[in-house]
Structure 1
Amino acid sequence: MVKQERALRTRQALIRAGAELFAREGFVAASLSTISGEAGVSNGALHFHFESKRALARAVEDEALVRLRLVIEESLGRDGRALPALVDATYGLVDRIAEDVVVRAGFELGDDPGRGESASLRREWQHWVEETVRRAERDGWLARGVSADDAVTVVVAATVGLEVLGGEESAWLSQERVAGLWKLLLPRLTERPTLVRAGCFTLQ
């Protein structure tokens, strides 16, 4: 049991150190020796857990995906209704990207040409937004004349845009930016009354 706990701590330390270096330098430039050094373990310990840099990058993405799904689950748990959950999830997403280097690296790794792999976190987010907007449409939340496809396009493009721009300038990853987005979108998206409270929207 003690060995298993130690192995788990080592693995998590390597994932975090890998995420920090991938986010800072990119997949190609990041070296395994630097990652093991920052994690405080030997190169042998790193290779025991991950056979290659690509395997470590996949582990970072997998962990980031778990954390992204937690953001989604938390947003659904607060209210359960589709459009309020979508609004809430965008706040949670931006907070996570800003504060959690594993999530930030997970998104950035999907866009790194050196890996030659697709952007799984962005794809996951896109699919969830599509499902949620279509549920909002079925539940009567979308305003007359609003296309679900158009709503999905705008929300995905805007939120992924914040994520990408936030990689260059952290000011993009703020509650104020998300509030500004929804102040612009919500009056067009829904006819339900909205209130702004402490920088966040509560839909009634």
Structure 2
Amino acid sequence: MAKQARAVATRQQIITGAARMFEQSGFEGASLGDIVDGAGTTKGALYFHFRSKDELAKVVIDEQHQTSISTVHEIAKTGAGALRQLVMLCHEMGRQIVHDPVVRAGLRLTLEFSGTVGPDQPYLDWIDSCRKLVDTGVEHGEISASVDSDTLARYIVGAFTGVQLVSQVLARREDLEQRIDEMWTYLLPSIATTRDAAELADIRASRWTPPESSTPTAESGS
């Protein structure tokens, strides 16, 4: 059991080290030597767990994707209204981008590979999750019935992606929470059925706090 636990720990250490290198240098710029050095392990250990850099990149993307899907499910358990869940989801994903190197690397790799034959499933799943929340919001009278759920879901994902990219370029994501809040400041009044300013502000302030045991160790977003 101890040997198996060490193997699991080493595998995760390699994934985290690879994520840091992919985030800093991109897929092409991150060599296996860099990944080994960054992970503090050996090439033998790396090849024991992974056959190639391509496989490592796929695992990083998959882990980031699973983190996002898990977040959707956990926020759903709060029982909050659809609009609040959408706001919570964007802010939690923003928090993960700032604090989790695997999430940052997974997003960068997905964007890099999207120019060729990159994975589109993470975006498709995120759009689908938003669409279901929009449908629920319309059904419960929170979101205007005139809204097209597919269009709004794609717009939310696209807007969030642009906001976090611009925040990275201009402020190293130090202002990301504020920029996400601004996004919802303009978006909520156009889709919510309520016109009460205080209620809209309360929805915009919605946040989800993950269990302490699942919260990644804070680190710089640089």
The 4+ residue runs of structure 1 with deviation greater than 4 A are none
Q: In the alignment, which of 201, 206, 214 is matched to residue 196 of structure 1?
A: 201
TM-score, normalisation: structure 2:
0.82
Matched, 1:178 2:183: no
Shift of 1:94: 0.8
Identity level (%): 30
**Aligned equivalents of 2:133 and 2:100: distance in 1?**
24
Q: What's the counterpart of residue 15 of structure 2?
A: 15
Segments of 5+ residues of structure 1 without an aligned counterpart are none
Which one is further off, 6-15 or 186-195?
186-195
Q: Counterpart of 1:75 in 2: which secondary structure?
A: helix
Asked if the contact 1:64/1:106 (under 8 Å) is kept, the reply is yes
**Alpha-carbon shift at residue 73 of structure 1 (Å):** 2.3
1:123/1:108 CA distance change after superposition, 3 Å = farther
TM-score (norm 1): 0.88
| Residue in structure 1 matched with residue 105 of structure 2 by the alignment | 105
Q: Match of 2:141, SS?
A: coil
Q: How many residues align structurally?
A: 202
Larger CA deviation: 76-85 vs 57-66? 76-85
Unaligned runs of 5+ in 2: 208-222
Equivalent-residue separation in structure 2 for 1:166 and 1:65 (angstroms): 21
- Displacement of 1:139 after TM fit? 2.1
Residues in 2 aligned to 1:173 and 1:196: alpha-carbon distance in whole angstroms: 19
Please say if residues 127 and 154 of structure 2, whose CA atoms lie closer than 8 Å, have aligned partners that are also in contact: no
1:162 corresponds to which residue? 163
Q: Tell me the residue number matched to 1:117.
A: 118
Question: Per-residue CA shift, 1:74-103, capped at 9, x if unaligned?
Answer: 321223432211111111011111111101
Q: Relative to 1, partners in 2 of residues 1:116 and 1:44: Cα closer, same or farther, differing over 3 Å?
A: farther
Change in 2 beyond 3 A, CA 1:181/1:200:
same
Name the aligned partner's letter for residue 178 of structure 2.
E
Code of the residue aligned with 1:143 in structure 2: it is S
Deviations 1:28-70 (A, max 9, x none): 1111111111111110110000000011111111211221123
Aligned-partner Cα distance in 2 for 1:58–1:167: 23
Residue 141 of structure 1 deviates from its aligned partner by 1.8
Q: CA RMSD in A?
A: 2.3
The answer to whether the Cα contact below 8 Å between 1:94 and 1:173 also exists between their aligned partners in 2 is: no
* More deviation, 121-130/191-200: 191-200
Which runs of structure 2 are paired with 1:1-204 in the superposition (5 Å)? 1-113=1-113, 116-169=117-170, 170-171=172-173, 174-192=176-194, 193=196, 194-196=199-201, 200-201=205-206
For 1:58, what is the secondary structure of its paired residue? helix
Secondary structure at the residue paired with 1:168? helix
Residue 80 to residue 156, structure 1, CA distance change in 2 (3 Å): same
Higher relative contact order (CA 8 A, sep 6+): 2
1:83-132: CA deviations, max 9, x gaps?
21111111101111111110111111112148742243223212211221
C-alpha deviation, 1:197, in angstroms = 5.2
Counterpart for residue 219 of structure 2: none
What letter is aligned with 2:69?
R
SS of aligned partner of 1:146: coil
**8 A Cα contact 1:15 1:56, kept in partner:** yes
2:60–2:105 contact (8 Å) kept in structure 1 = yes
Query: Partner letter of residue 177 of structure 1?
Result: R
